[in-house]
Structure 1
Amino acid sequence: MSAAKHYLTDPTHAVLSNLNSLTLTNPSLLLDAQNKIVYRNPSSISNLQNVSVVCGGGSGHEPGFAGFVGDGLLTACVAGTIFASPGAEQVRTCLQYRLPSESKGILVVATNYTGDVLNFGMGVEKARALEKKVEMVVVGDDVGVGRERGGKVGRRGLSGTALVVKVVGALAEQGVGLEDCARVGHLVVNNLVSLGASLSRVHVPGRGIEEAKEEEERLGPGLVEIGMGIHNEPGCEKVKTDLPGLVKIMLGQMLDQSDKDRAYVKVEKTDETVLLINNFGGVSNLELGAITNEVVIQLENNYGLKPRRIVQGTLFGSLDGPGFIVSILKLADTGLGPGKSLLELIDAPANAIGWPKCVTAETWEKNYKPPPQRAEETEHETKPSNLKIDPTKLRKTLEPALKKLIDAEAEVTKYDSVIGDGDCGIGLKRGAEAILKVLPSISSDDAMMAFAKICPTVENNMDGTSGALYAIFLNSLASNLRAQDTSSSTPVTTEIWAKALAMSIGGLGKYTPAQPGDRTLMDALVPFVEVLQKTGNTTEAAKAAKIGTDKTKGMKASLGRSVYVGGTGFEEVPDPGAYGLSIFLSGIADAL
């Protein structure tokens, strides 16, 4: 059973303390604690013009991603809370302020989880708007969820991410340009297959012992789960077998070309490969070595493969999870000539504590000078508009709706625990509480001034997928309202709101393929906007949102983490994101 006792019970303190420890064990690193960014001291970088490589994601995967910051790997890492992606504003701050200004480009590497793609994508777009040269590589290497079940989501990002950042980090260190770094990053992803397995769920610091017992009972004694995700998600099947039997099943899913649903990469006997055996965090070194041994034996005996390199250790963890991931990289031609093959790039020196090699003595002894202080933006300047609202009415409308959403947290969490990872209710509550705090400060009758308060509040207090979606939508809504601005004072009518809302749904399409029927918050949002446009009646629109939410019961998810959750629980509960939004919209309708 995964540990229900921890030395730290406050997950926020645990994350920040861990990030700060990296600056103690590697003195060439710096920490922006407010934004949870670990980055290289500019005075430790030999060539400031080299491409900067940035990665990140939820905490709990240590030593990835922050442990990979250092020479030959990452320039910076942006961390989220446990198993939740960092916010887009954290990413923007990193790209704008925490990288060498002389850098000729920035390569962002993100794992293929909805929150990571949305938040890093939004941060990239913000950086591009500031004329930064940025490319993004999304890592999807999991085969546990096949093409049919994965659908629009695609492959999840697993421990193959470590190999991707190792390769692109080595290229950047050699002065290779941004386009080639990004191209080779995609090349690695397209030649990667990974699969995880675990004996039980992980336990997050701060959660109760009884909850840990319930998690253990969900898997059952004597069973191992294949396809287990790094965020504690259930896998694709549960089996009762020994280690050789488990490895046989796993390698079959990774390499069997007759399995068209999972045959993502064709690996033949003549191909050269790199093997990574990654510890979730709770497997002893003794057992991990035995696992590596069994994998290598079966690769040679059953597939005629002898990996050129074998990397073993905890590179991309899942807290205290008693599981492991097998990753196989097929070595392909980078087209960059001598010294820049995939194998040479993996062999290239790396000076970071997360890669299986000690930090050099030279790094310890060198006296690094701190970087010069730079003035940074603390607030985004907002251009006034002629769009007018009644601030008192706005506060009286939003306050009861936000309180209804806060009161619904337990129910939303219960639904999300059935079909997801249980963090949706907490995220919505955190955002609603933060907005409540800023409502009294909204006194201007300029609609844009209200958005100037609310948008950054959502960005800075709601993380994960929901936070990214709401932040993108609200920023788009503000932009689409401004598009209806005139040269004279204009009250914001229901018609103006409805038009801006409809345009903003289109804006979301740039970052997510979600549509009604995919079992997401769009099942509530789209009906609300459509009815509001047709009738101008908020009450009727809220009813449509509730009907759309109710329809998600029994609806198979096409997007989000719930895609990977099997069983029959989804048939009994609505989508938690849609349900939470419906509660909020009904609160607005009641207050008007």
Structure 2
Amino acid sequence: MSAKHFITDPNHLVRTALEACTRTNPSLAVDLDNKVVYRKPSQQSTVSIVSGGGSGHEPSFASFVGDGLLAGAVAGTIFASPAAEQVRRAILDRVDRKKGVLVVVMNYTGDVLNFGMAVEKARASGIEVEMVIVGDDAGVGRERGGKVGRRGIAGTVLVQKAAGALAARGASLKDVHRIAQLTAENVVSIGASLSHVHVPGRDLPSANDEDLKIDEVEIGMGIHNEEGSEKMTSDLPGMVNTMLAHMLDSQDKDRAFLSVRRNDETVLLVNNLGGVSLLEMGGIANEVIEQLGSVWGVKPVRVLSGTYMTSLNGLGFSISLLRLVDTGLDVSMLDLLDAPAEATGWSASISAKTWGNGSESTTWETTSETVEAKPSNFEMDPTLAKKALIRGLDRLIAAEPDVTRYDTIVGDGDCGIGLKRGADGILKQLNKTSKQPSDVALFLDKITQVVETNMDGTSGALYAIFLNALAHGFRLQSPSSPTQVTPQIWAQALQTSLKALGRYTPAKPGDRTLIDALHPFVETLSRTGNVKSAVEAADAGAKGTKGMKASLGRTVYVGGEGWQGVPDPGAYGLSEFLMGLGEGLG
């Protein structure tokens, strides 16, 4: 877990975060004494939706305050329920209560008791108020939940959204309460995490504090660091498979809380618990959607993926599935979820019209004219070329851990993986067909296509430019009839390629780049016609980058120690490939 925070005083942290809500949404105000964020009064009176709980779940709940969602949110300290008096003040003094108030709270003992106490006090004061308790967590089964029941987690935001949208339409408290309860009864959720979280202001964890091992995941972990239902070692597909089974397996009598059939319309919410990158959330959401369709036959009509209810910076996610049922009103449950909400925490920005125009296909099929590649008329032994290339690629792949280690010191650590990805792709292409082109340029074209497809980043672009120019270099020298290629012809083509590369990068020998290995290889081959000598020159050039101060590339910006003792990763990787290539040529 990460125990480092920018703000370590938890009380100051909560107060300033609540203040920030009013500065990002001018329609809101804050009662800092009672930690209540609420909508400023408006001329049109509607049922007010009030919610809240411990802080640390942002954007729930304060950032859901706004037109079309909550009228007020009450915050406790981090992971602790607000006091009943705070909630009472919110209901009595901070929200419009003319048409009544609906309180939506998650099923945690402290929240239920404190919000419930405030509701009873408000009723005693003559206010029309109702309360809905959301318990959607399938991570807690019937046996373990006992009389307490399931915890409330991210499915709660769907209940809040449906209730808020219906209230905004001017519906009565009776209808708003009924639809909120109906939504709560038809949503099921489960979470998973790779680590527990540290609460600002608490003691730092000791080395003996139990946490998940590097290869473990906890299924059903609560949003306050509560223990999950099980720990397992699994990849993402296996983990999602387990989570969906806990949610949807009708044979699991301990957890079969909601029956979802293949023809049921559903809404899927994939929620970031706070510490998962947006990139990974995309991959997670895709895995969940794929398995819902292929394993369970469930194809949601709406998918929400983002950060709705967190556990501070929890390294995990949750899945919620809402079964859409008839509301008995002139507005559907889906209409309520699609309705706009002016709340900074509600991030569903795709309109119902766009969803309606969607199709089953998620990829764009294109056709393009194939330009027939022109041969160079320089012939080579394709069997020898394949053997030498494989030897070079194998050596490069074996060197990947060292390249990655060097690049972790002087760069962002991706050079080795990028080179290995390209090498793996070329090997796959070579092994796919037994017969390779004997024409040098056509052979290079096939290799270049793999590099362009499989290698990204700076290295991928440099190699693609170089190889394209190399094939062009052979075509520039093309004889009128097929001719056996020689080291001198290779050298001339390489010179052409090196010159072309210079149009796109200012790198020269001495700048600590792959040019420090490439340039001496090309120059030595041109001068001697000897591959072995050229390979030795490349190796010496790569080794010479140790202690060399970088003039180009990301290394220029990287501080710290250690770079003086390692070669340039790109130069080292290229020299390893060239040495393998030389060995293969014998």
Calculate the TM-score normalised by the size of structure 1.
0.58
Partner of 1:353: 344
Per-residue deviation, 1:138: 0.3
Superposed displacement of residue 104, structure 1: 1.0
Shift of 1:209: 3.2
What is residue 13 of structure 1 aligned with on the other side? 12
Within 5 A, what are the aligned runs for 1:185-264?
185-211=180-206, 213-215=207-209, 217-264=210-257
Spell out, residue by residue over 1:482-519, the C-alpha distance to the aligned partner (whole angstroms, 9 max, x if none).
Answer: xxxxxxxxxxxxxxxxxxxxxxxxxxxxxxxxxxxxxx
Q: 2:166 maps to which residue?
A: 171
Q: Taking structure 1 as reference, are residues 6 and 243 closer, same or farther at Cα in structure 2, changes over 3 Å only?
A: same
CA-CA distance at 1:145 after TM superposition: 0.9
Deviations 1:403-423 (A, max 9, x none): xxxxxxxxxxxxxxxxxxxxx
Aligned mates of 1:186, 1:169 — CA distance in 2: 13
Residues 1:93 and 2:89 aligned together: yes
In the alignment, does 2:117 pair up with 1:122?
yes
* Contact 2:265 2:323 (8 Å CA) reproduced: yes
- Specify the SS of the correspondent of 1:246: helix
Pick from 134, 139, 142: which aligns with 2:134?
139
Residue 181 (structure 1) aligns with: 176
The number of residue pairs the alignment matches comes to: 349
Aligned residue for 2:251, secondary structure, equals coil
Structure 2: how far apart are the matches of 1:221 and 1:348?
42
Task: Look up the match of 2:551.
Answer: none
* Alpha-carbon distance between aligned partners in 2 of 1:345 and 1:243, rounded to the nearest angstrom: 32
> Offset of 1:46 from its aligned partner?
5.2
Match of 1:333 in 2: 326
> Which of 54, 59, 62 matches 1:58?
54
1:96 is paired with a residue whose SS is: helix
The within-5 A match list for 1:297-446 is: 297-337=290-330, 340-356=331-347
- Give the Cα separation in 1 of the matches to 2:108 and 2:333: 25
Distance 1:62 1:253 in 2: 26
Asked if the contact 1:277–1:324 (Cα under 8 Å) also holds between the matched residues in 2, the reply is: yes
How much does 1:357 deviate? 5.3
- Aligned AA for 2:262? K
Partner SS state of residue 275, structure 1: strand
Counterpart Cα distance in 2 of 1:93 and 1:84: 18
Matched with 1:418 is none
In structure 1, C-alpha distance between the alignment counterparts of 2:211 and 2:341, rounded to whole Å: 40
2:304–2:348 Cα contact (<8 Å) kept: no
Letter in 2 for 1:18: A
Aligned equivalent of 1:47, options 44, 57, 60: 44
1:458 aligned partner: none
Matched, 1:113 2:112: no
In 2, distance between residues paired with 1:160 and 1:90?
24
| Distance of aligned partners of 1:226 and 1:357 in 2 relative to their CA distance in 1, 3 Å threshold | closer
Deviation digits for residues 343-395 of structure 1, max 9, x if unmatched?
Answer: 0000001000010058xxxxxxxxxxxxxxxxxxxxxxxxxxxxxxxxxxxxx
2:344 is aligned with what amino acid? Answer: I
Asked if the contact 2:248/2:259 (under 8 Å) is kept, the reply is yes
* 1:133, distance to aligned residue in structure 2 (A): 0.2
Distance 1:35 1:347, change over 3 A: same
1:298-351 deviation per Cα after TM superposition (whole angstroms, max 9, x unaligned): 0000111110000011100000110100000000111012xx211000000100
The answer as to 2:31 corresponding to 1:27 is: no
Residues 357 and 254 of structure 1, relative CA distance in 2, 3 Å threshold: closer
Match of 2:502 in 1: none
Q: Following the alignment from structure 1 to structure 2, what is the Cα–Cα distance between the partners of residues 143 and 357?
A: 24
* 1:296 is aligned to 2:284: no
Look up the match of 2:66: 70
- 2: distance between equivalents of 1:297 and 1:46? 46
The 1-side partners of 2:4 and 2:71 are apart by 34
Runs of 4+ in 1 over 3 A off after TM superposition: 208-211
Distance apart, 1:234 and its partner CA:
1.0
The AA in structure 1 aligned to 2:55 is: S
Say whether the 8 Å CA contact 2:47–2:96 is kept in structure 1.
no
Amino acid at match of 2:44: N
Structure-1 separation of matches of 2:296 and 2:242 = 13
CA RMSD in angstroms, aligned pairs only: 1.1
**1:22 maps to amino acid:** C
Q: Deviations over 1:562-590 (max 9, x none)?
A: xxxxxxxxxxxxxxxxxxxxxxxxxxxxx
Q: Is the contact between residue 4 and residue 208 of structure 1 (CA under 8 Å) also seen in structure 2?
A: no
8 Å CA contact 1:5–1:209 kept in 2: the answer is no
Distance of 1:287 and 1:81 partners within structure 2: 30
In the TM superposition, residue 214 of structure 1 has moved relative to its aligned partner by 4.5
2-structure distance, mates of 1:297, 1:3: 32
Change (3 A) 1:77 1:199: same
Task: Tell me, in whole angstroms, the C-alpha distance in 2 between the residues paired with 1:5 and 1:208.
Answer: 11
* Aligned equivalent of 2:375: none
After superposition, give the CA deviation of every residue in 1:2-46 in whole Å (9 maximum; x if it has no partner). 21110111001000010000000001100000000000011xx35
Gaps of 5+ in 2: 350-586
Secondary structure in structure 1 of the residue aligned to 2:205: helix
The answer (yes or no) to whether the contact 1:351–1:357 under 8 Å persists in 2 is: no
1:287 alignment partner in structure 2: 280
Q: Which residue identity lines up with residue 61 of structure 1 in the other structure?
A: H
State the Cα distance separating 1:55 from its structure 2 match: 0.3
Offset of residue 221 of structure 1: 2.4
Query: Whose Rg is larger?
Result: 2
Aligned mates of 1:286, 1:218 — CA distance in 2: 25
Residues 432-474 of structure 1 show CA distances to partners (whole Å, capped at 9, x for unaligned) of xxxxxxxxxxxxxxxxxxxxxxxxxxxxxxxxxxxxxxxxxxx
Q: 1:214 to 1:136 in 2, by over 3 A?
A: farther
Q: 1:266 aligns with which of 214, 234, 259?
A: 259
Question: What amino acid sits opposite 2:6 in the alignment?
Answer: Y
3-state SS in 1 of match to 2:102: strand
Instruction: Return closer, same or farther for 1:46/1:302 CA change in 2, 3 Å cut-off.
Output: farther
In 2: Cα distance, 1:210 partner to 1:298 partner: 37
Q: Deviations over 1:129-186 (max 9, x none)?
A: 1100000000000011100110001010000011000000000000110011111111
**Sequence identity, in percent?**
60
Mark the CA change 1:131 to 1:206 in structure 2 (over 3 Å): closer, same or farther.
same
Which letter maps to 2:74?
A: V
